A and B are shown apart, each in its own frame.
Chain A
Amino acid sequence: MPFIEEYQRIVALELEARKAITHRLLVCGASGCLSSGGDAVREALAAEVNARGLGREVQVKGVGCMGLCAAGPLVAVDPAGLLYQAVTPADAGDIVASLGSGPVTRLLCPTDTPFFTRQLKIVLENSGLIDPERIEDYVVSGGYQALIKVLTEMTPGEVIDQITRSGLRGRGGGGYPTGLKWTTVAKASGQVKYVICNADEGDPGAFMDRSVLESDPHRVLEGMALAGYAVGASHGYVYVRAEYPVAVRRLQTAIKQAKRLNLLGNAVLGTPYSFNVEVRLGAGAFVCGEETALMASIEGRQGTPRPRPPYPAEHGLWGCPTLINNVETFANVAWIVRRGGEAFAAIGSGKSRGTKVFALAGKIVNTGLIEVPMGTSLREIIEEIGGGVPEGRRCKAVQTGGPSGGCIPADHFDAPVDYESLRQLGSMMGSGGMIVMDDSSCMVDVARYFMDFCMTESCGKCVPCRVGTTHIHDLLARITAGKASEDDLRLLDELCELLQGTSLCGLGQSAPNPVLSTLRYFREEYAAHVGEHRCLAGACGATEEVTS
């Protein structure tokens, strides 16, 4: 097949070109490091290399996220295996001069720490190693091999079978078995079907999907193309927030590149399978991450959810059967197809298989992005990989699952991170945001913060969420101000129950979770605000400070 030969030619050319290179300087170009000046570092390094006439043997390369955002901008030196942290353009001279001799010790970032050694990367296997704006980089690291394999050797049923065997579950929050979802869409009757990638990541403190799209966009496209083949869809949409300009740009570049190599588009690799992908930008509404609201938005209507059933698998985009998965879910697919479902299923624990990407944020030393096997304990993630809370403070709780999740107190940190355990603790996996709080955080105020988010982001369609979130928010504000009564606490309980029981979509149904989980684990903080008008954490300004 001519297209496959073309693919192999590109791999060969790329490998040939690399032979001349003795050193590679990999500069992180994901949003975290870009915001701390990564771009300028890359330019300074390139200028330094050129000035020294090393342009042929030293390559300066913008790559995706290296994970340890807290220490950015990061520069990795290959093949020396060195990592430099907090690099400034002024360091360029020293770095280039040191190539081939000893490292620049003052910039060294230790890589033998748990942050690097305890991770297991599937979704992020290429992140920080390849240039996300070059399809050649992806292809050389095994990219699109899964697609070639599937189109030449496998039936759609076999693809779904591998996904089912892998035990992969939706990484967007719900944890619905991916294989089952694909089967339903595959079996749904309809000439036209769609595949949608949900990249409307909106949880405060969450940046997993953003990072994957910025670091390895082809991986997501390949996953979508595999899904399209498996369920019988020839058109896909990536619904991504307009607030992620770098991700959007790299995604659009990737789509163009893949089409040029006929890895996407009509008659993919000369086979009868066609798969076209378009990017749709979200206008910044959190609720558009809800699948029915997301589809309404793609259709050009107001982004509000509708009752389910019917589910998108039967009645989705423009009434056609539609497969919706999140970025991270699609990012696992090619790996599973390449290595087989069993290899994936061998990782993880219980009913949660594979790995999960988490964004560590809040009061934690190693702010950044990590990927660990499912079932890793919260303690290992936060205290070992994350380095715990900064000096002098005590870790109090972690919020997982964003505004739909809950706060888990530090004495439950031995719980394994999997879908079921987190749910039992009153939280949820969510998309993977973890916000760590120390003892200076007031848990009532934390609940108020998340309710403020839910109130602002409520679409306003159904009454319980539209009005209920404002009342719950106002009650929490009264409590933090030390002006609430026992009756207010009772009303708070009642409203939380109402929202859980009657809201139209997941946003409203789960909006009370931060309140309910803090009530469950930190009721004494609520009681102190109400009964004694004081904040145990000393955080709420309007109440009397706790004086020791």
Chain B
Amino acid sequence: MKPQVKIKTLSIDGRDIGAREDETILEVARENGIAIPTLCWLEGLSTVGACRLCMVEIEGSSRLLPACTTHVEEGMRIATDSERLRRYRRQIVELIFSERNHVCSVCVSNGHCELQSLAQALGIVRVHVPYRYPRLDVDASHPRFVVDHNRCILCTRCVRVCDEVEGAHTWDVSGRGVDARVITDLAQPWGASESCTGCGKCVHVCPTGALFEKGKSVAEMSKRRQFLPYLTLMREERR
């Protein structure tokens, strides 16, 4: 028998909402059709709170909290949208654009990219910080997939899906700060990886054109993520 789950009542953007105590603000908001922008979060994977886009305001606290990792509490009054939050979100997305070389027009994911559509949703038409233009590698050593570090936003979805769902832990992050890179095995070429099963889950959870299938040209790489909630659900049922 499952232990009894308590129900909390709270309000999001002025709407009174009931939620299970083990739910996060983000989960509750989505159930109620309240959109909070995210990039590192993906249903079916653990949460890391790294992209900082889902920050929300909680009444009575000067600190902003990430909706993806913050659990609901009784009487919480949450605002998911404000001039300040919109400004921060725009700035964060602009920082991501400036960090590496996101050239939408020639990207395999043009038109199917979460970063690109998020920029549009947030009304970003130009980046106010200078572009950094780092020189980054493209690893096409794998027979079927490519990793283009120019497009990587370090959301670590690939790292998590490989570890938590596929169980291979081929991906990880090496380096610090802006020098951080996703790596396969011990920073060996992807094609030489002994742990990679070639399942392609990482490719399909990647929000941008950083991971893609070989043979896909500009705007041809659309990702299919339906497998993830399905796999999670089936595994939970088996348990």
Instruction: Decide: A463 and B52 in contact? CB cutoff 8 A.
Output: yes
Closest-CB distance, B22 to chain A (whole angstroms): 13
B213 within 8 A of A: no
Q: What residues on A are CB-neighbors of B98 within 8 Å?
A: 467, 471
A460-B177 contact in complex given A307-B49, A471-B98, C-beta closer than 8 Å: yes
Q: Closest A residue to B62 by CB, please name it.
A: A501
Interface string of A500-539 (1 = CB under 8 A from B): 0111100000000000000000000000000000000000
B50 within 8 A of A: yes
Q: What residues on B are CB-neighbors of A503 within 8 Å?
A: 52
Instruction: Decide: B91 and A462 in contact? CB cutoff 8 A.
Output: no
Closest-CB distance, A429 to chain B (whole angstroms): 20
Closest-CB distance, B82 to chain A (whole angstroms): 12
State A463–B64 Cα separation when bound (angstroms).
15
State A491–B129 Cα separation when bound (angstroms).
8
Closest-CB distance, A492 to chain B (whole angstroms): 11
Q: What residues on B are CB-neighbors of A466 within 8 Å?
A: 99, 154, 177-178, 180
A468 within 8 A of B: yes
B51 within 8 A of A: yes
Q: Closest A residue to B174 by CB, please name it.
A: A302
State A69–B96 Cα separation when bound (angstroms).
46
Instruction: Decide: A462 and B50 in contact? CB cutoff 8 A.
Output: yes
Q: Which of A301-348 contact B (CB under 8 A)?
A: 302, 306-307, 309
A215 within 8 A of B: no
A460-B175 contact in complex given A306-B48, A467-B98, A468-B95, C-beta closer than 8 Å: yes
State A471–B94 Cα separation when bound (angstroms).
12
Q: What residues on B are CB-neighbors of A377 within 8 Å?
A: none
Closest-CB distance, A164 to chain B (whole angstroms): 26
A471-B130 contact in complex given A463-B52, A498-B88, C-beta closer than 8 Å: yes
B69 within 8 A of A: yes
Q: Closest A residue to B97 by CB, please name it.
A: A467
B179 within 8 A of A: yes
Q: Which of B125-176 contact A (CB under 8 A)?
A: 128-130, 132, 153-154, 172-173, 175-176
State A463–B49 Cα separation when bound (angstroms).
10
Interface string of A205-218 (1 = CB under 8 A from B): 00000000000000
Instruction: Decide: B128 and A491 in contact? CB cutoff 8 A.
Output: yes
A383 within 8 A of B: no
A469 within 8 A of B: yes
A161 within 8 A of B: no
Q: Interface residues of B toward A: which range? A: 20 to 34
Instruction: Decide: B178 and A467 in contact? CB cutoff 8 A.
Output: yes
A494 within 8 A of B: yes
State A466–B178 Cα separation when bound (angstroms).
6
A430 within 8 A of B: no
Q: Closest B residue to A504 by CB, please name it.
A: B49
B92 within 8 A of A: yes
Q: Which of A437-488 contact B (CB under 8 A)?
A: 455-464, 466-471, 474
A261 within 8 A of B: no
Partner of B177, one of A455, A491, A495, A504: A455
B209 within 8 A of A: no
Instruction: Decide: B52 and A457 in contact? CB cutoff 8 A.
Output: no
Closest-CB distance, B44 to chain A (whole angstroms): 19
Instruction: Decide: B177 and A458 in contact? CB cutoff 8 A.
Output: yes
A502-B64 contact in complex given A467-B96, A491-B129, C-beta closer than 8 Å: yes
Q: Closest A residue to B47 by CB, please name it.
A: A307
Q: What residues on B are CB-neighbors of A504 within 8 Å?
A: 49-50, 52
Instruction: Decide: B178 and A502 in contact? CB cutoff 8 A.
Output: no
Q: What residues on A are CB-neighbors of B92 within 8 Å?
A: 463-464, 498, 502
Partner of A457, one of B71, B173, B176: B176
Interface string of B67-93 (1 = CB under 8 A from A): 001110000000000001000100110
Q: What residues on B are CB-neighbors of A467 within 8 Å?
A: 95-96, 98-99, 178
Q: Closest A residue to B63 by CB, please name it.
A: A501
Instruction: Decide: A460 and B154 in contact? CB cutoff 8 A.
Output: yes
Closest-CB distance, A394 to chain B (whole angstroms): 36
A307-B178 contact in complex given A463-B52, A494-B91, A502-B88, C-beta closer than 8 Å: no
Instruction: Decide: A498 and B48 in contact? CB cutoff 8 A.
Output: no
Instruction: Decide: B49 and A470 in contact? CB cutoff 8 A.
Output: no
State A102–B203 Cα separation when bound (angstroms).
81
Q: What residues on B are CB-neighbors of A470 within 8 Å?
A: 132, 177-178
Interface string of A183-200 (1 = CB under 8 A from B): 000000000000000000
Closest-CB distance, B145 to chain A (whole angstroms): 23
B66 within 8 A of A: yes
B55 within 8 A of A: yes
Instruction: Decide: B52 and A462 in contact? CB cutoff 8 A.
Output: yes
State A456–B129 Cα separation when bound (angstroms).
19
Closest-CB distance, A311 to chain B (whole angstroms): 13
Q: What residues on A are CB-neighbors of B84 within 8 Å?
A: 501
Q: What residues on A are CB-neighbors of B71 within 8 Å?
A: 309
A498-B91 contact in complex given A463-B96, A467-B99, C-beta closer than 8 Å: yes
Instruction: Decide: A471 and B176 in contact? CB cutoff 8 A.
Output: no
Partner of B173, one of A287, A306, A460, A498: A460
Closest-CB distance, B71 to chain A (whole angstroms): 8
Closest-CB distance, B29 to chain A (whole angstroms): 17
A10 within 8 A of B: no
Q: What residues on B are CB-neighbors of A471 within 8 Å?
A: 95, 98, 129-130
Q: What residues on A are CB-neighbors of B70 within 8 Å?
A: 307, 309
A415 within 8 A of B: no
Q: What residues on A are CB-neighbors of B66 within 8 Å?
A: 307
Closest-CB distance, B89 to chain A (whole angstroms): 9
A139 within 8 A of B: no
Closest-CB distance, A321 to chain B (whole angstroms): 18
Q: What residues on A are CB-neighbors of B178 within 8 Å?
A: 455, 458, 460, 466-467, 470
Interface string of A38-61 (1 = CB under 8 A from B): 000000000000000000000000
Known: A466-B178, A470-B132. 9 other contacts (CB 8 A): A309-B71, A457-B177, A459-B177, A463-B52, A467-B95, A471-B129, A501-B88, A502-B64, A502-B88
Q: A residues touching B (Cβ–Cβ < 8 Å)?
A: 285, 287, 302, 306-307, 309, 455-464, 466-471, 474, 491, 494-495, 498, 501-504
Q: B residues touching A (Cβ–Cβ < 8 Å)?
A: 48-52, 55, 64, 66, 69-71, 84, 88, 91-92, 95-96, 98-99, 128-130, 132, 153-154, 172-173, 175-180
Residue pairs across A and B with Cβ atoms less than 8 A apart, 20 shown, are A306-B49, A306-B69, A307-B70, A455-B177, A456-B177, A458-B178, A460-B175, A461-B50, A462-B52, A463-B95, A463-B154, A466-B178, A467-B99, A470-B132, A470-B178, A471-B95, A471-B129, A474-B130, A491-B128, A501-B84
